[in-house]
Chain A
Amino acid sequence: MAEKEISNKNSLRRKFRLGEFLAEYIIKGVAFCSFAVIILIFVFVFKETLPIFSPKEETATKQEFLQSESYGDEPATESSSQMSDYSSFTSDKKDVADIKNLTGKEWQPVGEDPKYGLFPLIMGSLKVTLIAILLGAPLAILAAIYSALFAPKRFKELIKPAIELLASFPSVVVGFFALITLATFFQEVFGWTFRLNSFIGGVAMALAVIPIVYTVTEDAITAIPKYMTEASLALGANKWQTALFVILPAATPGVFAALLLGFGRAFGETMIVLMATGNAPLSTLNPFEPVRTLSATIGAEMAEVVVGDTHYTVLFLIGSLLFIVTFLINAIAEFYVRAKLMKRFRGE
């Protein structure tokens, strides 16, 4: 009724306002979608893992077909030989993924007595990620220092697009490159028994980690207030002294954030490890043996499981694990590091 009064007063204005009102709320609604997406991801990835937490007695008849997973001329490993026989069987065994089964040291989801031990997978992920960070991060950080502080302007304009091109490399192409060129090269040079191993995966992953570490580090360095650099130069320090003793210490939280984000990226990356690490769920510390990472497990096995099956549920659990880990890493990088940076620049 109040509305009617207004419209009687000046009908022109009301029409206007309706448009404005709609525009604002539609825009707000769509913006909310982006927020809803993350909630949806959260809900729907976790929802599928729920059966694990509510144990049930189930002796269902199921059929599973598993493709053989020989990657190139990789020698058959313990598990892949067991997996490569096409098995269709009725399962009246206990196929449960309880805590005991999940914390086991064996990942062997197919067979008479499936084992869903996540330990080798987590270790595989950590191994590849660490190798990638150890190889990629120093290169990326040094490159960022060079391009932000020392590089001539012309050269700088070449470095940035080059890194952007590297970032736009599809991970499946990096994986392909690692699988075919890198693996063969390294095996010829070092004579490894396993052509595909976690080191090859790590090297390839480093290529994926470099752009993100570089970008964040470079941003952190360029975000340092000019007065700090100028004060240092005015006191008689030269360029590299300023870089080493003034700029770098000020940028450490940013570099730390870069490392974290690189870690998150490498931890969740799928195609590279799926193609280049040999995919055998072994739990050894030797970097030259094949590994299977969390992400690669999902990628390799999801297509073949029965929906609602224990194996399916465990794969979703792995997905949730990846989600949580990357979520936490990003949150730390975001909040902690930003707070620290702000504090430092305010000179507290």
Chain B
Amino acid sequence: MNNKLLGKSIIAFSFVSVVLIISALVFMLLEIYLGGRSYLSWEFLTQPPKEGMTEGGIFPAIVGTVLLVIIMSLACIPIGTITAIYLNEYANKKSIFTKMIRFAVNTLSGVPSIVFGLFGLGFFIQFVGAGMDKIFTPEGELNWGQPNILWASMTMAFLTIPIVIVSVEESLKAIPDDLRAASLALGATKWQTIWKVVLPNAVSGILTGSILAIGRGAGEVAPILFTGVAYFIPHLPSKLTDQFMNLGYHIYVMTTQSTDVEATRGIQYATAFVLLVCTFSLSFIAIVVRYRFRKKLIS
């Protein structure tokens, strides 16, 4: 009898914690939506900030975030995909080289995002950027050796590479070896097999990984804090050496450092809501793609 009670209470407790987590999620969503609802409008999305950031929209922040994510994707998706191909198709699973790469990938996914920011500052700006300046502009002009959108995107790319790798590898692993064997038996070389047989079957994994990486890149703020983001710039970034505005950073500075925090509360909520909608729709798409892919595999 006592035992039965114990069992029931375990199930009840675990059920309650699920409900708690889900309700926390729903509550956060509702709170942010309700807070920003009255500010959301087409103008809010397409206008730059006005009146010392107390009015107007968040258009430059949206553009900055999109550009950041695009440049980041150009770097992290190919590198991540190719690394995953190496790990799953070429690598000798027991060689030290493979183990090293695997360990590096695992470690990379655990490095705090702020450390990536420091790394971006120390490596991209102080080392690569300053080095490029020394070569191209000997007059000592600062061109690349300062925070800009390129270095911010590269820093973010390093952060998101493991996400792509994990997702692509998962889909590569799911491809039956029969397919590869059949292709090789027909006389295709290894690379032909990968390019024509393996990769087309891994598209969903690459897609999922890319979407997850983009979602992460859009939401992270810490890595770009000192590698290129700006509080406010009147013009949109037009070249790689420009600084940029960013949705997440916009929320951060508006809530903690703007002159009148209370007056811009609505803008803050609305910005947070826009950012949430972006990352949520991205991860939702990723979930759906993955779910469909798994279903296809089972059938």
Report A313-348 CB contacts with B as 1/0, cut-off 8 Å: 001100100110011011100100000000000000
- Cβ-closest chain B residue relative to A298: B114
Given the interface pairs A30-B82, A275-B252, A329-B110, the reply to whether A44 lies near B122 with Cβ below 8 Å is yes
Give the complex CA separation of A294 and B24 in angstroms.
27
Give the complex CA separation of A265 and B158 in angstroms.
17
Which of A103-111, A166-174, A284-292 is the contact stretch? A166-174
Contacts of A147 in B (CB 8 A): 18
CB < 8 Å neighbour of B90 from A28, A207, A244: A28
B interface, CB within 8 angstroms of A: 3, 6-8, 10-11, 13-18, 20-22, 24-25, 28, 31-32, 35, 78-80, 82-83, 85-87, 90-91, 100-101, 103-108, 110-119, 121-123, 126-127, 158, 161, 165, 189-191, 194, 212, 215-216, 218-222, 225-226, 248-249, 251-252, 255-257, 261, 265, 268, 272, 275-276, 279-280, 282-284, 287
Residues A326 and B111 in contact, CB atoms below 8 Å apart: yes
Interface centre among A176, A264, A319 (most CB of B within 10 A): A176
Residues B251 and A142 in contact, CB atoms below 8 Å apart: no
- Cβ-closest chain A residue relative to B158: A37
- A238 on interface, CB distance cutoff 8 Å: yes
Residues A44 and B215 in contact, CB atoms below 8 Å apart: no
Residues B86 and A30 in contact, CB atoms below 8 Å apart: yes
CB distance from B107 to the nearest CB of A (A): 6
Q: Can you add 14 more A-B contacts, CB < 8 Å, to A31-B101, A41-B119, A240-B11? A: A16-B189, A23-B191, A34-B80, A35-B101, A41-B111, A41-B123, A165-B283, A173-B276, A180-B265, A244-B7, A302-B121, A302-B225, A316-B118, A323-B111
- Cβ-closest chain B residue relative to A155: B18
CB < 8 Å neighbour of A150 from B14, B78, B107, B215: B14
Residues B22 and A268 in contact, CB atoms below 8 Å apart: no
- Cβ-closest chain A residue relative to B122: A44
Residues A27 and B115 in contact, CB atoms below 8 Å apart: no
Give the complex CA separation of A69 and B119 in angstroms.
25
Residues A45 and B119 in contact, CB atoms below 8 Å apart: yes
- A139 on interface, CB distance cutoff 8 Å: yes
CB < 8 Å neighbour of B114 from A16, A138, A174, A295: A295
Give the complex CA separation of A45 and B121 in angstroms.
9
Contacts of B104 in A (CB 8 A): 34-35, 37-39
Residues A319 and B115 in contact, CB atoms below 8 Å apart: yes
Give the complex CA separation of A271 and B90 in angstroms.
39
Given the interface pairs A299-B225, A302-B225, A319-B118, the reply to whether A72 lies near B261 with Cβ below 8 Å is yes
Give the complex CA separation of A176 and B272 in angstroms.
8
Contacts of B10 in A (CB 8 A): 145, 240, 243-244
Contacts of B103 in A (CB 8 A): 334
- A24 on interface, CB distance cutoff 8 Å: yes
Given the interface pairs A34-B165, A165-B284, A270-B113, the reply to whether A40 lies near B123 with Cβ below 8 Å is yes
CB < 8 Å neighbour of B106 from A67, A151, A165, A330: A330
- A6 on interface, CB distance cutoff 8 Å: no
- Cβ-closest chain A residue relative to B222: A270
CB distance from B246 to the nearest CB of A (A): 10
Which of A79-87, A93-101, A156-164 is the contact stretch? A156-164
- A47 on interface, CB distance cutoff 8 Å: yes
Given the interface pairs A170-B220, A171-B221, the reply to whether A316 lies near B122 with Cβ below 8 Å is yes
CB < 8 Å neighbour of A32 from B101, B158, B219, B261: B101
